Amino acid sequence: MGSLSAISITIDPYTILVWAVIGLVAGFLASKLMLGHGMGLLGDIVVGIIGAFAGGLLAGAFGVTFNVPGHPIVSEIVLAFLGAMVLLLIVRMFRPRRRFGRF
């Protein structure tokens, strides 16, 4: 039988700040591209962070590795951006359409 290994995640103020910056950049870019406007500071951060998790899960499920030359945070932003775009696409698919006018 295989052995189980534990994953250790350290959450300190620096880690939270990095998550917020990655989420802000990825969420802002994805919401501008998919919606045509930003979703506000908090909305962009939340969409970007959820998108980062979704992008990481999708990349892991399909066995895709993604590395951009340069600083490793650039790769994380691109992956979070792609995940946020998928998230916003799914939200747009299930969101009721607004009607303009009175009819």
Write down the pTM of the prediction. 0.75
Matching residue, tokens 């939200």: 91
Question: What is the residue range of 38's domain?
Answer: 29-94
Cα–Cα dist 73/93, whole Å: 30
Residue 51 lies in a domain: yes
pLDDT tier at 10, thresholds 50, 70, 90 = confident
Q: Which range, of 21-25, 52-56, 87-91, 92-96, averages the lowest pLDDT?
A: 92-96
Residue 23 lies in a domain: no
Residue 1 lies in a domain: no
Residue 10 lies in a domain: no
Residue 9 lies in a domain: no
What is the arithmetic mean of pLDDT over 72-100? 83
Report the number of distinct structural domains present in the chain: 1
Nearest to 51 by CA among 79, 28, 32, 73: 79
Residue 11 lies in a domain: no
